[in-house]
Structure 1
Amino acid sequence: MISTARYWFYIALIVLVYIIGMFVTLFENDSAQFAVMAMRMVQENDFLNLFKGTEEYLDKPHMHYWLAALSYKIFGIHDWAYRIPGILSTLLGAYSCYGLGKLLYNKDVGRLSSLIFMTAQTMVLANIDVRTDAVLTGFTIFSIWQLATYIEKNTLKSIALGAFGAGIAFSTKGQIALVVIGISILCHLAYTRKWGQLLSWKVLVAIFVFALTIAPMLYAYYHQFDLHPEKVIRGKDNRSGIFFIFWEQSFERMSGEGIGKNSSDFFFFFHTFLWVFLPWTVLALIGYWTKVKAFWETKFAYRPNMDFLTVGGISILFLLISFAQFKLPHYMNILMPLYAILSAAFLYVLHQQQKLKLAKIILGIQYFILGLVVVFIFLVSFYVFKLEDWYSYLFLVMALALVTYFVLKKEPVHAKIVTVAIYSSLLLNGLMNAHFYPKLLEYQGGSTMAQKVKAENIPVDKIYKINERYTWALDFYDQDPVDIVSVPDLKNMKDVWVYATDKELEHLQKKGIDWNNQITVDQFRITRLQIKFLNPNTRKEKLNKMHLVHLD
């Protein structure tokens, strides 16, 4: 459907957008928090214990933090170094989408799958606002690909690699990895009727490889929690880390027990999907419906040119996660590879069967999405955060000219769908990574204050705070977590700095504490955007202030 040269040109542009995002300031809360947790490992040379600030951390397992810490060891403690494991895992995920698409269908579907996966909005976002999901998603689809290859080709190498991928994914976020891998592979086995592959001695090898892969994580949990029943975690003592990761973790998220509830809306992921898979959402929805209809009409009889791994896995898993009482948009990331392969296969069928009428409707929708992207770009560039330098305008004009050239260039309608969708993603996320996020993060108080600290040569070990409020961005960019001090103790301290909110400064004044120097920066919760903040005329109404004051 697309030439080899065009395919690699797209890959190069997508990777360029990812690389631009590598150097953006870390987002609070999760990205900066996880970066600090990994930083503590390196600074204290302690890779067994997980801490969130001063608290013992029993939630997500160790692999994400270990990989980030390894990157710090190699490249130093930088925001871009923190993002490297996530980006490499996403590239592994893209290659795995290619491999699985090729295995289930053909090379063209494999190529389209990798492009769709890498340009889905939530995956681009996952590589700038890096959490555990980038590593989880990459190794989960890698495992599914290798295990499906074992089912089809009966190779020892494939089942061993599949078990290794499952072990890394499990060590990154726990049971959800095994649920996604297991359900997807069971759907494939059920449709192909190749249950005999489970009776091979090679399955024992896979179990051994999986056990070996997760052993470091289990030992770390055993060392931190099982050996210390006196530790109280979320109000409970006698917590076993091993029991938690094998049993309690996912049930806590499903029920909301321990971590709390944030959404009982069963349809949360239904409307979330509408934006997380942009610009491919409509293609995926039509493709999913077409696949379900085809299986129903054939009464699930096996057809070599169809796969149940994607549509079956998506259906069961989507229903399952919708019952969870704690939901966030990025929880869907682990399903993006399956959606990518399903969408690519559907687009290939449109091409093969020459369904031009439906293809033209989809192309019209893609043009509409591209139009919205262009409107958004002009709105951001000339109103929300105005471009300031002449070269910024030059890059914008060049990008728009490139997109216009390829969009207007004549090519078959099915290839045009791919062209328009990919350039929609590149145009949007190129602007977001190069301009929108850097300007937005100027209003993240912690990272902005860290720049002031560096410029003023303020000793980071003399900065304190007077409550338990997390200060992840300041902690990371100062490379020294801010210590907590009580107000009575603060009265007896000299030549120190206090990082505080407006209310905390008022409290210090009431307690008779004065200061002789004050640095103030704007503060806004940048992951919760509001219209009034985006409007330059009303932005000040939504801003808070963070202060750094010097006590003589």
Structure 2
Amino acid sequence: MKDRKLWINIAIILCVSWLISFFYLGNLPLLDPDEPVYAETALEMIQNQDFISPRIYGEFWYDKPPMYYWLVAGAFKVFGVGEFAARFPSALLAALGSVLLYLAGRKLFNDRAGLLSALVLATSLEYFYLSKAAVTDITLTFFLTGALLAFLIRKNYLFYACAALAVVTKGPIGVVFCGAIVGLYLLFTGNIGLLKRMKLFSGGVLFSAIAVPWYWIMYYYHGMDFVDTFLGFHNVTRFLQPEHQSGALWYYYIPVLIVGFFPWTAFLTQAFIGGLRNKGQERNYTIFLVIWASVVFLFFSLSQTKLVSYILPMYPPLALLVGWYFDKAWREKRSSVLKWSSIILAILVVVLEAGLFKAGGVLAAQLVPLVKVTAIILFLLVASVWWLSYRINFRSVFVANVIGMIFFTAFLVTQMLPVLAPSLAVKDLVNDFKQYYDGQSPVYVAKFYRPGFMFYSGMPGIELKSDELQKAVQDKAGKSYFIAQKKYYENLPPSIQGKIKLLTIVEDKALFVYEAN
């Protein structure tokens, strides 16, 4: 009976994950610039038959370790080169991550808490978004989650293996998080003696056997150029110096978390405080989860380079906390939990819809009617949650949130994102370019669009700084093609405009040809 329940719950999780992560996975073009970078690098691994040294535009590329490139290259071999294959590893590991959370939750707490936790993770807004993205964040989160949950259930060798795979996915952050979170937990709970039972020597050998070889080979072939670029710039420098203006905002991740964990943000504060105050036999587990989430949040808040996706590794512990807390409130029939969460959910929906309406008005007029439909979907979600909370029906409140997110995310990917795709991806412009290109003239491509241009055209192009477009055009002799931001094209002086033939404009991107006298 227990095995039957186990497999039924796994089937539920995989079904929800398919609806959230796999549905419409390959229907949208790769979004500039990040998704094409990973897809193109994996493609060049296959073309060069070199699976050690990542390349892009034919040149060595030291941005990230190879794990996601390997996974995408494997997907290209199985499914063929395209958007679906580029995103398949993220969608697959997102689904497996939810199953992993269920298996851990049922062991740490109970079967229902594990199931609730898995569904919370799968349906949270940012997890959904990144499960459909050809970027490294889901892969890193999967291996970090595997490592830290393995530590909790005393699977020491699994802890070291998953930590090593995290290092092969995104670098030293795998060691930093595992070491900091486990170390703080042992200090906080006074369990330093656990170190003696963690098989440090043999575990260290296993970790090194998995994590070190790629780095050693890269150093052997590329020397200090690899060390300075990968470790020096992409890790140390980006932590200490902002790559984007948002790095100066200390509160950057507060709104990111509030929106990214939607709709479960409605339970988050109660669950977090409940985890800290927990006095039961599960106290050590909830304290570990609180430390895990806090370390990730604080680390990236201190980092001067900030991106929305960076805090994804804190979502699994938060999902476990919410799953545990919801199950506990359910068992104890604590109606106040539903009351307050329904109020918070209503506030969140108002804020989210206000943001969508504002964004719709700025990005595309076609979005406004679609945003109104999302308002209806979310209003129905809030209304049903309020009614079911009034009836103190915990099961139905939870199911309403899950079903509401399935409809909401499906509408986003099938209706709203296709409207935005031409402004977020260069694919349509590349299709136009192929019709106009003479096959021999040089092509200058704005840096932001270059990865997508390379992936969809097979041509590297010549990198162009968009804000230096005027100088770039004036310096060219003969016939040249340009792909640049529309605003920079429109600001070119009349003397240059007269020598330009505009071929097409797609949203914010201009394709034109310049022929010097």
Q: Same fold (TM over 0.5)?
A: yes
SS at structure 2 position matched to 1:465: strand
Residue of structure 2 aligned with 1:417, choices 394, 397, 401: 397
SS at structure 1 position matched to 2:247: coil
Question: Deviation of residue 430 (structure 1)?
Answer: 0.9
Match of 2:204 in 1: 207
Residue of structure 1 aligned with 2:77, choices 70, 73, 76: 73
Contact kept in structure 2, 1:92 and 1:139, CA below 8 Å: no
Contact kept in structure 2, 1:508 and 1:514, CA below 8 Å: no
Residue of structure 2 aligned with 1:35, choices 39, 55, 80: 39
Q: CA, structure 1 residues 331+405, in 2 after alignment: closer, same or farther (shift >3 Å)?
A: closer
> What code does the residue aligned with 1:219 have?
W
Give the whole-Å Cα distance in 2 for the aligned partners of 1:320 and 1:467.
Answer: 33
Give the whole-Å Cα distance in 2 for the aligned partners of 1:508 and 1:52.
Answer: 34
The 5 Å alignment of 1:32-431 reads: 32-51=36-55, 53=57, 56-150=60-154, 158-190=155-187, 195-200=192-197, 202-226=199-223, 229=224, 231=225, 240=227, 245=231, 250-256=235-241, 259=243, 262-292=246-276, 294=277, 303-304=281-282, 306-307=284-285, 308-366=287-345, 384-385=366-367, 413-431=393-411
Q: CA, structure 1 residues 75+16, in 2 after alignment: closer, same or farther (shift >3 Å)?
A: same
Give the whole-Å Cα distance in 1 for the aligned partners of 2:369 and 2:290.
Answer: 44
* Structure 2 unaligned blocks of 5 or more: 465-471
Q: CA, structure 1 residues 254+469, in 2 after alignment: closer, same or farther (shift >3 Å)?
A: closer
Give the whole-Å Cα distance in 2 for the aligned partners of 1:36 and 1:312.
Answer: 37
Give the whole-Å Cα distance in 2 for the aligned partners of 1:401 and 1:244.
Answer: 47
Identity %: 19
Give the whole-Å Cα distance in 1 for the aligned partners of 2:403 and 2:353.
Answer: 11
TM-score, with normalisation over the residues of structure 2? 0.81
Question: Deviation of residue 372 (structure 1)?
Answer: 7.6
> What code does the residue aligned with 2:260 have?
V
Q: CA, structure 1 residues 459+102, in 2 after alignment: closer, same or farther (shift >3 Å)?
A: farther
> What code does the residue aligned with 1:22 have?
L
Q: CA, structure 1 residues 204+261, in 2 after alignment: closer, same or farther (shift >3 Å)?
A: farther
1:161-193 alpha-carbon deviations (Å, 9 max, x no partner): 222211111112122222222233335545665
Q: CA, structure 1 residues 412+260, in 2 after alignment: closer, same or farther (shift >3 Å)?
A: closer
SS at structure 1 position matched to 2:248: coil
SS at structure 1 position matched to 2:303: coil
Contact kept in structure 1, 2:156 and 2:198, CA below 8 Å: no
Contact kept in structure 2, 1:272 and 1:329, CA below 8 Å: yes
More helix by share: 2
Moved more, 190-199 or 133-142: 190-199
1:345-395 alpha-carbon deviations (Å, 9 max, x no partner): 111121122211232321344466568879999997x9743789xxxxxx9
Give the whole-Å Cα distance in 1 for the aligned partners of 2:43 and 2:268.
Answer: 39
SS at structure 2 position matched to 1:254: helix
Match of 1:531 in 2: none
Give the whole-Å Cα distance in 1 for the aligned partners of 2:9 and 2:151.
Answer: 30
> What code does the residue aligned with 1:435 have?
Q
Matched, 1:522 2:506: yes
> What code does the residue aligned with 2:183 have?
L
TM-score, with normalisation over the residues of structure 1? 0.76
> What code does the residue aligned with 2:452 have?
A
Q: CA, structure 1 residues 219+363, in 2 after alignment: closer, same or farther (shift >3 Å)?
A: same
Over aligned residue pairs, what C-alpha RMSD do you find?
4.2
Question: Deviation of residue 137 (structure 1)?
Answer: 0.5
1:224-269 alpha-carbon deviations (Å, 9 max, x no partner): 531xx4x5xxxxxxx636x954x87543233117x57642332222
Q: CA, structure 1 residues 400+354, in 2 after alignment: closer, same or farther (shift >3 Å)?
A: closer
Give the whole-Å Cα distance in 1 for the aligned partners of 2:78 and 2:149.
Answer: 30
Moved more, 327-336 or 248-257: 248-257
* Structure 1 unaligned blocks of 5 or more: 151-157, 232-238, 389-394, 525-544
1:41-78 alpha-carbon deviations (Å, 9 max, x no partner): 22333333334557654443222222222222332221
SS at structure 1 position matched to 2:153: helix
Match of 2:469 in 1: none
Question: Deviation of residue 337 (structure 1)?
Answer: 0.5
